[in-house]
Amino acid sequence: MVTLKYFSVLLFIALANTEDEFHPKPNNVDPALEITNIKPIHKTIEGHNLYWTEHAQRYIEDQLKLTKNTNKAKNVIMFLGDGMSISTVAATRMYLGGEELSLSFEKFPHYGLVKPYCVDRQVPDSACTATAFLGGAKNNYRGIGVTANVSSSQCNYSDEDVVHSIVKWAQDEGKATGVVTTTRITHATPASAYAHSPHRDWENNAVISSACRNDPNSQIKDIAHQLVYNEEAKKLRVIMGGGTRHMLNNTMQNDEGRYGERTDGRNLIEEWLEERNKEGKAVYISHKQQLDELDVDKTDFLLGLFEHDHCMYRLDVLNNGLQNQEPLLTLMTETAIKMLQKEENGFFLLVEGGRIDHAHHSNYARKSLDETAEFSRAIELAKLMTSDEDTLIVVTSDHSHVFTYSGYPYRHDDVLKTTGYTADDDLRFETLSYANGPGYNRTYANEGNRSDIINDDFTHVSRRYSAMVPLSSETHGGEDIAVYGSGPWSHLFQGSYEQSDIPLVMAYAAKIGPYAERVETTTPCTGSDCDSANGVFVTFALLIISLIVVYFT
């Protein structure tokens, strides 16, 4: 009874205090999807040994309840947080409200760690990693869907060097497929789902003509062209993101008046419509309102390109009042799932939170955490729209960043401010900082002394956080990144393994690709038997209700 009382005090605080200026509620997201802001837990609660013991007991009970879900995964959704390092995930807990909080995917029952190195580099990029986690083969830095035998300066490759992605494996078994991203649709991660290119930058014909000018016989097509004409791209039922720039000739404008960069006279958006309309009803959209009004039942193929380049950072969308023009990742994810759920054979969907990475490259810590928070909400939504019985959800990242969460800030301090005390040069320092990047000028500001940040505006969305080594773009990090799984066969994701093992595990679960012929030997689970992850949520919800009752009686 005593501990129950402590819990109810905790909950009372949590419920009474749901918002503050540093963690504003996004005004255009369904409140049902908001992650609960767990607010300061009073020392009187955490000072009791029993509080922690009870926490451990609950954890152990939840672990004991975990079952191996060996159902066939009818659907697979892969969520890729580009550059979402473990320190990024941890700092985002603070951004959303507190150390105790868990992002949606941290409640998944199974975790593992992968080694993200590429064949030719210790610290990888998004191209070679995407070929690993989508195609099941490591290759070279900058390589998209080709083996490590192909160098990034090579203007040809043989058929044997093609690495097909899980998108094709799923299509070969009659599943619907889709790709959603907040980057350009021809950027490294989404491109690896449907294209093959020795170099990730060959996004339009002009770039290839220049790179391969000494190889006039080169047959390689640019990535945007491949989005319309490649075998696997042709079958994509949903494509959403940014990037009209590589789809249009440089004399053609998108609906915002921005010119394309092609020089071959093509309008690949119109060609996409023409090609897909031969197979069904194809719809092209470029504005959030069109997405809101989309008739999913009457659309067979959807192409949504909402920007000339990458989609805007969510914080810039909100700050510029563009929430009625630019769809956020949650809305794109919701529509994609609705489109793909029409296929009775199931589906494979790739969703990329692509700008977590870009914000880190600019040392924009706040934007990176905010993009991670939106990514987490998209996953929460996907979880609500699907069932553990038949849907495997895998959440991972491609690589880390040189982003650290450090110093000894007090509990509940704003993670985006300083540690609260001075360094050996008598100046304050940030809790979040970088080993390199454009934020370096804070480090060498006054003839080699650091700048004084005490009066900085830490609420500025594009504040660059301090970096040590001067680089115009911060670099990726080489250490392991996490894989979180929920649904059929997600227990196979535990341990430490190669990044290229990930798609094979997904293929095993879904019986596609190399595992299309796998024979099932286990008993299927049904309904709540399969819900190992949701067990935790349900127990907690029941606990809350009973505690509130206990507190007031």
Ligand X SMILES: *[C@@H]1O[C@H](CO)[C@@H](O)[C@H](O)[C@H]1NC(C)=O
Active site residues: 126
Beta pairing class for 481-486 and 391-397: antiparallel
List the end-to-end C-alpha distance of the chain, in Å, as a whole number. 12
Tokens of 336: 């994609």
* 446 touches ligand X (CB under 6 A): yes
Look at residue 192 and give the partner it binds from Zn ion, ligand X, none, a contact being a CB closer than 5 to 8 Å depending on partner kind. Answer: none
| Contacts to ligand X from residues 332-351, by CB under 6 A | none
Q: Which amino acid is at 452?
A: D
* Among the listed residues 430, 436, 533, the one whose alpha carbon sits nearest the alpha carbon of residue 490: 533
Query: In this chain, which stretch among 14-22, 36-44, 249-257, 320-328 interacts with ligand X, using CB under 6 A?
Result: 249-257
Query: Is 314 or 366 the residue whose CB approaches ligand X more closely?
Result: 366
* 63 touches ligand X (CB under 6 A): no
* 139 touches ligand X (CB under 6 A): no
Among 24, 47, 174, 265, binds ligand X (CB under 6 A): 265
How far apart, in whole angstroms, are the C-alpha atoms of residue 431 and residue 426?
16
Number of residues assigned to the chain? 553
Query: Is 357 or 388 the residue whose CB approaches Zn ion more closely?
Result: 357
Beta pairing class for 476-477 and 391-397: unpaired
Query: Is 251 or 526 the residue whose CB approaches ligand X more closely?
Result: 251
Among 3, 151, 263, 325, binds ligand X (CB under 6 A): 263
Query: In this chain, which stretch among 93-101, 113-121, 158-166, 295-303 interacts with ligand X, using CB under 6 A?
Result: 158-166
Question: Which residue has the closest beta carbon to Zn ion?
Answer: 357
Tokens of 304: 């949504």
Q: Quick one: 526 exposed, middle or buried, by C-beta within 10 A (0-12, 13-18, 19+)?
A: exposed
Query: In this chain, which stretch among 73-81, 372-380, 390-398, 443-451 interacts with ligand X, using CB under 6 A?
Result: 443-451
How far apart, in whole angstroms, are the C-alpha atoms of residue 164 and residue 201?
19
Contact 148, 139 (CB under 8 A): yes
* 442 touches ligand X (CB under 6 A): yes
Query: In this chain, which stretch among 229-237, 285-293, 440-448, 545-553 interacts with ligand X, using CB under 6 A?
Result: 440-448
Query: Is 357 or 390 the residue whose CB approaches Zn ion more closely?
Result: 357
Q: Measure the CA dihedral 492/495/498/504, to 10°.
A: 0
Nearest distance, CB of residue 83 and Zn ion, angstroms:
5
* 422 touches ligand X (CB under 6 A): no
Give the residues lining the site for Zn ion (CB under 5 A): 357
Look at residue 345 and give the partner it binds from ligand X, Zn ion, none, a contact being a CB closer than 5 to 8 Å depending on partner kind. Answer: none
Tokens of 58: 């609950």
Nearest distance, CB of residue 329 and Zn ion, angstroms:
17
Complete DSSP assignment for 75-107: EEEEEEETT--HHHHHHHHHHHT-TT---GGGG
Nearest distance, CB of residue 220 and Zn ion, angstroms:
23
Reduce the secondary structure of 150-169 to three states and give it as a string: CCCCCCCCCHHHECCCHHHH
* 171 touches ligand X (CB under 6 A): no
Look at residue 442 and give the partner it binds from ligand X, Zn ion, none, a contact being a CB closer than 5 to 8 Å depending on partner kind. Answer: ligand X
Contact 126, 398 (CB under 8 A): yes
Q: Which amino acid is at 384?
A: L
Among 37, 151, 209, 250, binds ligand X (CB under 6 A): 250
Query: Is 144 or 381 the residue whose CB approaches Zn ion more closely?
Result: 144
* 156 touches ligand X (CB under 6 A): yes
Reduce the secondary structure of 239-259 to three states and give it as a string: EEEECHHHCEECCCECCCCCE
Query: In this chain, which stretch among 195-203, 234-242, 246-254, 377-385 interacts with ligand X, using CB under 6 A?
Result: 246-254
Tokens of 264: 């071959």
For ligand X, how many residues bind (rule: CB under 6 A)? 19
Nearest distance, CB of residue 451 and ligand X, angstroms:
4
Footprint of ligand X (CB under 6 A) = 147, 149, 156-158, 160-161, 249-251, 263, 265, 441-442, 445-447, 449, 451
